[in-house]
Structure 1
Amino acid sequence: MNYLTLAEQVIQGRTLSNDEALYILNSPDDELLLLLHGAFKIRKHYYGKKVKLNMIINTKSGLCPENCGYCSQSSISEAPIEKYRLLDKESIIKGAEQAYRLHAGTYCIVASGRGPSNKEVDNIAEAVTEIKERFGLKICACLGILKDGQAEKLKTAGVERYNHNINTSKEHHENITTSHTYENRIETIQKVKASGISPCSGVIIGMKETLQDVVNMAFALKELDADSIPVNFLHAIDGTPLQGTDELNPRYCLKVLALFRFINPSKEIRISGGREVNLRTLQPLGLYAANSIFVGDYLTTAGQETTEDHNMLKDLGFEVEFHQPKEELKFTV
């Protein structure tokens, strides 16, 4: 396959066929650099050499009634994680200050659970309003399945983006969780879009899905028109049903990132959870397809030292995309 020619056609509006998508995932390792060159042609067309940084705060940990097989916070997990209810406003704002210091343009407020109560939405909305006034960061919320009216309340407070991953393909969903449906997830994404909030939805790769499942995920997100697509690679945690699952290698992970770029050419593709343990020494190559990463820690697992992430971007010759507020900020001590 001529990946550069394919990239040019994608930029001009062509959509990959299912066979072309499967070929990318099945492509010989000897073609990997050629594939990434094609993916980078598309990435550079839309984003240049800029990289968006994101930082997560886990505002509520554990205590989740859902039975998602990958998650250490689920009701069926035996993983020894810290459990706590929703953090207070001051703690959420302090996390935003750290995100600002790290030049993370997007601050992701995440809470475990099936979905937030109205009181939790009110508390988060209050914190978001102050964060927007003080730091000017883009705010992404990830709070689970939303009830009617909650998306509008978050929008009014200043939330620009809402994350609710499809996680896997429709066909594989029941193998991962049965406490909610694939359609429940789609409904929340549609509610978010209807409220005027930018939809963020992504996947977890490495959960015993087929190559066709991965292709179906990429096309499903294209159909949903998700603005931001986090691509997670399973970091199987002891105590979860998927413990011991180890299907991934760095080369395959790079092919997945390239596939998502070819199918969703103009969208933010973010390398998310599992980056360090699955891409390992090939992490820098991922940014030839993706244009966004998380810095700092994830929900219940540690990330790479932030200085290493910044050094990686500098060594690549890439530029952090960060819009600094005009007024001088006063930090807490």
Structure 2
Amino acid sequence: MPHIDCKPRTDWNAFADAALSGRPLTVEEGLDVLRAPDEELLPLLHAAWRVRSRYFGNKVMLNMIMNAKSGLCPEDCGYCSQSIVSRADIPRYSLLDKESLLAGAREALARKAGTFCIVASGRGPTDRELREVAEAVREIRRTMPLKICACLGLLREGQAELLAEAGVHRYNHNLNTSRERYGRIATTHTFEQRVETVERVKAAGISPCSGVIIGMGESDEEIVDMALTLRALDADSIPVNFLNAIPGTPLEGAGRVSARKALKVLALFRFICPDKEIRVAGGREITLRSLQPLALYAANSLFVGDYLTTPGQEVSRDHQMIEDLGFEIVQYVPGSADSEQRKSPAGA
């Protein structure tokens, strides 16, 4: 006789009900999501979709990254091809000029992105770099309907305020991994310093963007902890990256997360941070592969085009995927209710 498993299935809709009522999942419930049997993946994603659709309907937000300064970084982050410990063969150049940044913004519009992300390698921006980025941001804000995100590293006192004055909507500074694991991923700065930069950004009235990289040896418990930490930090936008183990980096031999596990991670973040922009980010193409469309039943945001030093999927394929799902790309409308900057340090 065939074996019949009498164990009752988990009621994933109860997890959606909890998220919609404002109750965060417990650690045990979070582990249930990450360890869900593969045959329950579709019911799990349907429950995540209930939450996603309540807050975002069928809308998809697109973001485009520009690597405004490449390599030359003194930090030792083990996942990064631009770090001082990396042997990866990548371009290395100082901060691009204003015209190059404006050209990047125009390309973001052509790709139907609502947010243009200016990213610079390094521990943190010099005063000169900050002024040059601010000047470009003012010109983009004056001439193009784009939301601007900056990602320039650790910020010192007063720097977030300068970016806010220039019109930066959002600042990205990822936590990347758990507090417990951080010292095994980077030693030249701390987890606490990353949190401090996110708090500086919030205090300046800029919308905080902070996310994670999955696949660096973390346990399921650590993944749940990351999601709960970002909920407590009140990050408005949460990029969920999946490690692209670039040759020449200390993590080049790391194993890849399965596509099914990646989808469970996205569902977890949707349940724990129900009303936040959850972005399926770096590594999605090589991790999710043919299952990429399913990610958008939990996530509501994508990066389009290339990443910092690795290629992304052809933009037309992303547009086609969104259309085939019956979803709609969100275009940024200046002055709309879709948050210019945070209205107060508390985000009210």
Please say whether Structure 1 and Structure 2 have the same fold, judged by a TM-score greater than 0.5: yes
**2:218 alignment partner, one of 195, 203, 209:** 209
Cα distance in 2 for partners of 1:169, 1:228 equals 18
Runs of 5+ unmatched residues, structure 2? 1-9, 336-348
4+ aligned runs moved over 4 Å, structure 1: none
Other-structure match for 2:122: 113
| Amino acid across the alignment from 1:47 | F
Q: Which amino acid letter does the alignment assign opposite residue 119 of structure 1?
A: R
Given residue 214 of structure 2, which amino acid in structure 1 is its aligned partner?
Answer: I
**SS of residue matched to 2:201:** helix
**Would you say how many aligned residue pairs link Structure 1 and Structure 2?**
326
Please state how far the C-alpha of 1:4 moved relative to its aligned partner: 1.4
The answer to whether 1:13 aligns with 2:22 is yes
1:189 has 2:191 as partner: no
Partner of 2:138: 129
Identity rate, percent = 60
Q: TM-score, normalised by structure 2?
A: 0.93
- In 2, the alpha carbon distance for the partners of 1:299 and 1:234 equals 13
Q: Quick check: 1:199–1:226 contact (8 Å CA) kept in 2?
A: yes
> 3-state DSSP class of the match of 2:227?
helix
Is residue 2:189 matched to residue 1:180? yes
**Are 1:249 and 2:258 an aligned pair?**
yes
Asked if 1:67 corresponds to 2:76, the answer is yes
Q: Distance in 1 between matches of 2:234 and 2:191?
A: 17
**What residue is the counterpart of 1:228 in the other structure?**
237
Equivalent of 1:23 in 32, 51, 59: 32
Tell me how large the CA RMSD over aligned residues is.
1.0
User: What amino acid is aligned across from residue 53 of structure 2 in structure 1?
Assistant: K
- 1:247 positional shift: 3.6
Counterpart for residue 277 of structure 2: 268
What TM-score do the two structures reach when normalised by structure 1? Answer: 0.97
Given the alignment of the two structures, is residue 307 of structure 1 paired with residue 316 of structure 2, yes or no?
yes
For 1:121, the aligned partner's letter is L
Structure 1 residue 5: Cα displacement:
2.4
Deviation at residue 325 of structure 1 after TM alignment: 6.4
Give distance in 2, aligned partners of 1:269 and 1:217.
14
Shifted more, 221-230 versus 315-324: the winner is 315-324
Offset of residue 324 of structure 1: 5.1
2:156 paired with 1:147: yes
Aligned to 1:232, the other structure's residue is in SS state strand
**Maintained 8 Å contact 2:18/2:25:** no
CA offsets per residue over residues 64-94 of structure 1, 9 Å max, x none? 0000000000000000000000000000000
Contact 1:296 1:302 in 2 (8 A): yes
Given residue 63 of structure 1, which amino acid in structure 2 is its aligned partner? L
One-letter amino acid of the counterpart of residue 122, structure 1: R
Could you tell me whether the CA contact under 8 Å between 2:115 and 2:332 is conserved in 1?
A: no
1:165 to 2:174 alignment: yes
Q: What CA distance in whole angstroms lies between the structure 1 residues aligned with 2:333 and 2:78? A: 40
